[in-house]
A = this chain, B = another copy of it.
Amino acid sequence: MSSGKFQLKVPKGTKDWADKDMVLRTAIFDTIVSVFKRHGGVTLDTPVFELKEILAGKYGEDSKLIYDLKDQGGELCSLRYDLTVPFARYLAMNPTVQSMKRFHIAKVYRRDQPAMTKGRMREFYQCDFDIAGTFESMIPDAEILAIGVETLSDLGIKDFKAKLNHRGILDGIFQTCGVPEADVRKISSAVDKLDKLPWADVKKEMTIEKGLPEEVADKIGEYVKLKGGPELLEQLKADQSLMSNTSAKAGVDDLTRLFEYTDAYQITSYISFDLSLARGLDYYTGLIYEFVVASSAPPPSAGSAAEKKHAKKSKDKYIDDDDNSENVGVGSIAAGGRYDKLVGMFSNSKKGDIPCVGVSFGVERLFSLIKASINEDQLRANDTEVFVMAMGGGEGWTGFLKERMAVSKMLWEAGIKAEFQYKTKVKFRQQFEAAEKAGIPIALILGQEEYPNGYVKIKMLGTHAAGDGETVKVEDMIPTLKEKIATVNSTSALIESIRQL
């Protein structure tokens, strides 16, 4: 047995979820799952670690953030970095599954420099919904955007918008402006920083760091400053040099169709077509988007040079990937895009490609936003509905422990959530205080005289308290309790109140 000297803590970048935070997080998950199921989603659970080679070559520079398991003999494995690659691996392994609307809520792992205040953890939850299958252009993509809007609305998030772009248009712009094919991804990643850095800095990165001629950078600069709604598409359509590029033309056609569908879903007002959105991950092939909130703007110091320098110099050699992470925007609460080639990467034949489009919600950021906007006093850590108490005294008073047990058992069997004090000689006041402290709304009282005669008393507690309670026959106890329970708050009420924030 071990003893003495060790650090009593969780690993850096991880945390325990408990108490009211856990109740709130569960309510958030329930809300998200209910949207996912409304859209026909089925869930998939993959192992927390994958063969190391499955993750290899999927995350570009960010591969250095992957956690490996120690080589203890046998296969080399790594903790999953996201839920997308395991989903693609699943599809490739199960060729009979040619289409799927799957959701997956689970933890992912990144050996990143933690920044708790920014909600960046090494272990964190992702909530993903993806539509896999060969379908007509933009139909699933529009539904994914609708799911994003519905989910955030149901979570009571206000002032959010979906920044949206298309890799085809972006690639077309780079080609039209004269970026060499080999440099497209790195120029793309520079553009992606425009939500955090001024154009001058981004241009410097393109030209000085990445060797792009200044006039090429300037041409790109004219495009990537454009943002707006569907009307911006008309402007691009009028740009003959851009429209002569096949990739850009196809992207513009996609978006034209997309906006028709978002009109049908009545969500176009949430969308901001933003040519500066690029997203870090290599595997996107079409539409890309990022849901952002105005209210979670970066603190002034976020991403400052000083902070980055500190991270780079810190003793353990974890990497600050603020610049490379696919969750680029600081106000980003969900993000995703179309990835038509990822499943095929796991397959040896061209036939193995299954086009996919999806969205991933960042729970930690949503949690912080929602927590800041609710009154935590309304939350209870448990759902207990009834506290079973004994009332009596004097000589020969047993405390009715076994009676409380027997009655609790009756309640449990009737599906009622019930507790009692784990004590023989109970004091009435102590039981009352315990119930009120835990926020339990109903007391079921076994009186020394009444209970042996077949009667119990039901009394509402706390904010539900009203009068002295009512005495009912034991055989009427359960229906009466169920009526009372229906009048008090429950977790589903919490979800409802979150929605109405």
For A271-314 the 0/1 string (1 means CB < 8 A from B) is 00000000000100000000000000000000000000000000
A489 part of interface (Cβ distance < 8 Å): no
* Interchain nearest-CB distance for A404 vs B (Å): 9
With A8-B89, A135-B423, A318-B74 as given contacts, are A3 and B345 in contact (CB-CB < 8 Å)? yes
- Pick from B47, B405, B416: contact of A16, CB below 8 A: B47
Tell me the A413-429 residues at the B interface (CB within 8 Å): 413, 415-419, 422-424
CA distance A416 to B37 in the complex (A): 9
Chain B neighbourhood of A4, CB < 8 A: 348
Question: In whole Å, how far is A156's beta carbon from the nearest beta carbon of chain B?
Answer: 15
Taking CB atoms, residues of chain B closer than 8 Å to A109 are 48
The contact of A317 among B73, B282, B412, by CB within 8 Å, is B73
Judge whether A239 is part of the interface by a CB distance below 8 angstroms: no
Contact A7–B51 (Cβ < 8 Å): yes
* Residue from B50, B70, B146, B264 in contact with A11 in the complex, judged by beta carbons closer than 8 Å: B50
- Given A68-B70, A417-B40, decide whether A9 and B93 contact each other with a Cβ distance below 8 A: yes
Q: Which chain B residue shows the least CB distance to A12? A: B75
- A94, B8: Cα distance in complex, Å: 10
The reply on A468 being an interface residue by CB < 8 A is no
Whether A49 contacts B422 by the Cβ 8 Å rule is no
| Chain B residues, Cβ within 8 Å of A70 | 67-71
Given A4-B348, A73-B316, verify A412-B43 contact (CB < 8 Å). no
Taking the closest CB of chain B, its distance from the CB of A88, in whole angstroms, is 11
User: Chain B nearest CB: distance from A350 CB in Å?
Assistant: 13
Contact indicator per residue, chain A 121-161, by CB within 8 Å of chain B (1) or not (0):
00100000000010110011010001000100000000000
Complex Cα distance A362/B70, Å?
A: 26
Partner of A50, one of B10, B69, B135: B10
Give A53-79 interface residues, CB cut-off 8 Å to B: 53-54, 56-58, 67-75, 77, 79
Which chain A residues numbered 347 to 375 have a C-beta less than 8 Å away from chain B? 347-348
- Are B22 and A42 within 8 A (Cβ)? yes
- A382 interface hit (Cβ, 8 Å): yes
A197 to chain B minimum Cβ distance, whole angstroms, is 28
**A436 at the binding interface (Cβ < 8 Å):** no
Q: What is the bound-complex CA distance between A423 and B261, given in angstroms?
A: 12
The complex places the Cα of A133 from the Cα of B123 at a distance, in Å, of: 30
- A322 → chain B, closest Cβ, in Å? 18
Given contacts A2-B58, A401-B139, A412-B150, contact A44 B18 (CB under 8 A): yes
A90 CB–B CB distance under 8 Å: yes
A186 within 8 A of B: no
Q: Which of B46, B146, B409 contacts A266 (CB 8 A)?
A: B409
Q: Which residues of B contact A266 (CB under 8 A)?
A: 406, 409
Query: Shortest Cβ distance from A147 into chain B, in angstroms?
Result: 9
**CB of A15 closer than 8 Å to a CB of B:** yes
**A476 in the interface (beta carbon within 8 A):** no
Q: Which residues of B contact A142 (CB under 8 A)?
A: 405
B316 touching A74, Cβ below 8 Å = yes
Contact B140 A422, beta carbon cutoff 8 Å: yes
Q: Can you identify 18 A-B contacts, CB atoms within 8 angstroms?
A: A8-B346, A8-B347, A11-B49, A11-B50, A16-B46, A16-B47, A18-B44, A22-B43, A26-B43, A39-B417, A48-B79, A48-B109, A68-B70, A69-B69, A69-B79, A136-B423, A261-B405, A266-B406
Q: A1-B345, A74-B316, A265-B405 are in contact. List 4 more A-B contacts (CB 8 A).
A: A8-B347, A16-B46, A69-B69, A136-B424
The 9 tightest CB contacts between A and B, nearest first, are A2-B57, A74-B316, A14-B47, A135-B422, A17-B45, A264-B405, A264-B402, A68-B70, A40-B419
